[in-house]
Amino acid sequence: MKRFDYFVVFAEMRTGSNLLEANINRFADLSCHGEAFNPSFPGYPQFDDLLGIDLAAREADPAALIDRIKAQDGLAGFRFFNNHDARVLDICLPDPRCAKIILTRNPIDSFVSWKIAKATGQWKLTNATHAKVEKIKFDLLEFESFLGRIQTFQTLLLNRLQKSGQTAFYLAYEDLRDVDVMNGLAAFLGCDEQLSALDRKLKKQNPAPVIDKVTNPDEMREGLAVLDQFNLTRTPNFEPKRGPMVPAYVAAPDSGLLYLPLRGGLDGRMSDWMAAVDGKAPKHLRRGFSQKTLRAWKQNHQTHRSFAVLRHPVVRAHHAFCTHILFDGPRLFPKIRASLRKVHKLPIPAEPLSQHNLKGYDIVAHRTAFLAFVRFLQQNLSGQTAIRTDPAWASQLAVLQGMAHIGMPDHILREESLQSHLPFLCQQIGMDLVPPFADIDEVEMSLLLEIYDPEIEQAVRDAYARDYLAFGFENLR
């Protein structure tokens, strides 16, 4: 009797998972079916279905695709990344008949490779003469966020496997061209075949040292120096186990104010206000904290106050819809937008709109689209969709609970009371002059007020029931 019914390769983008899949598929009795649960496509970008199951069917019943994979000849499996359908984890992680393979790579190498691939559009290389070379600018804050997602996912895998008495077959990026290691993996999966050579079609992209792949190497060295160096080794051995929001914390340039963003539309205005408290420009704000640098900041600011700001769920959900789904701009989520249109049939225009040109998109269409988005949020927050629960629309209670792992904010304020509460906050750190807080975005708010009615309020209440209960929100109007 074979040991496993199917397998999952847990990896991330730019960790070598394409090469690992190619190596696995060289074994006659093994087959890997791509990114089976990628929210944007089933298995591979160029196909509309995988093993006869399309996106809509997979969305409705992810277990059906797993059953289809289990039914294949030999032993079949798929690749799974941290942003794939989280419901799959509840199916495969507790199942001892599912073989787990965990592929990791030095995170800084993965990050730089990912940025280069995005810049060049070259995600695979089969002919070295066609290699596209481009240097990228290293962004510490973006890397911190990238690193945090990997840490969180790897820690989850480790914890779930430990609690269920299972173990995984661990591979590093450097193992992928070692035929003996690949033969060992095959043996782990119950395959008797042994290879004498591995797949050579895929070529290593960007073989230069990582420091030579960025335009700002000195800035990268300085940025990485503030990180715990052990956090740059193989996962899941990252220490400390940081909350995902720490890199987003914002400290005033000089005074002891620390803003803990709950996301959802206040961050830009709050950053401007925090800078104005010290008479500085927003570029002087302290960002990109790790737990280590956050502790150092607190030690250097003996009189400090941290705070978060709650926003009414209707306003917050509407901002998430406008900013990340409806309007074009730097914060648009194009892949999620496409998935919402294709899978969830969200009635939005094929192309993102300009915030200042709504030609062909009227208030009736906006109300219909926003209401559909809110109903998607209810499913998303209940773990019923393949799309990630982004911090922009996660419940504010859940975000605060995540922060609690490293410490709750001293004050939890409310947007509608900021004009009176911010002076009190400043007084606590010995500041008398308080700058004004900027008004809300008029375009977004006017759109919302035109469509708001009891049906929208109730839909948001259904989606964010925990926030309404925990924080006592009343109807918006």
Domains of the chain: 6-213 (3.40.50.300), 247-477 (no CATH)
Q: How confident is the model at residue 198 (pLDDT cuts 50, 70, 90)?
A: confident
Higher-pLDDT residue of 132, 247: 247
pLDDT reading at 234 higher than 70 = no
pLDDT reading at 235 higher than 60 = no
Q: How confident is the model at residue 204 (pLDDT cuts 50, 70, 90)?
A: low
pLDDT at residue 241 in the model: 30
Of 126-140, 169-183, 429-443, the range with the highest mean pLDDT is 169-183
Q: pLDDT of 244-287, one tens digit each? A: 478 889 999 999 999 999 988 888 899 999 999 999 999 999 99
pLDDT at residue 205 in the model: 59
Q: What would the 3-class secondary structure string for 284-344 be?
A: HCECCCCHHHHHHHHHHCCCCEEEEEECCHHHHHHHHHHHHHHECCCCCCHHHHHHHHHCC
pLDDT reading at 370 higher than 90 = yes
What is the overall mean pLDDT for the chain?
88
Over residues 343-363, mean pLDDT: 90
pLDDT at residue 231 in the model: 42
* Overall pTM surpassing 0.95 (yes/no): no
Over residues 177-197, mean pLDDT: 93
- How far apart are the C-alpha atoms of 299 and 19, rounded to whole Å? 47
pLDDT at residue 152 in the model: 87
Other Cβ atoms within 10 Å of 457 Cβ, number: 17
pLDDT at residue 243 in the model: 44
Q: pLDDT of 67-97, one tens digit each? A: 999 999 999 999 999 999 999 999 999 999 9
Buried b (16+ CB within 10 A) or exposed e, 51-80: bebebeebbeebeebbebbeeeeebbbbbb
Q: pLDDT of 11-27, one tens digit each? A: 998 899 999 999 999 99
Task: Output DSSP code: residue 441.
Answer: P
Over residues 343-371, mean pLDDT: 91
Q: Compute the CA torsion angle 38, 381, 141, 120 (nearest 10 deg).
A: 20
pLDDT at residue 1 in the model: 66
- How far apart are the C-alpha atoms of 177 and 213, rounded to whole Å? 23
Contact 462, 456 (CB under 8 A): no
Q: What percentage of the chain exceeds 90 in pLDDT?
A: 63
Q: pLDDT of 146-161, one tens digit each? A: 888 888 899 899 999 9
Contact 289, 247 (CB under 8 A): yes
Q: pLDDT of 381-411, one tens digit each? A: 888 888 888 889 999 998 898 888 888 899 9
pLDDT reading at 187 higher than 50 = yes
pLDDT at residue 197 in the model: 83
Over residues 347-369, mean pLDDT: 91
pLDDT reading at 207 higher than 80 = no
pLDDT reading at 417 higher than 70 = yes
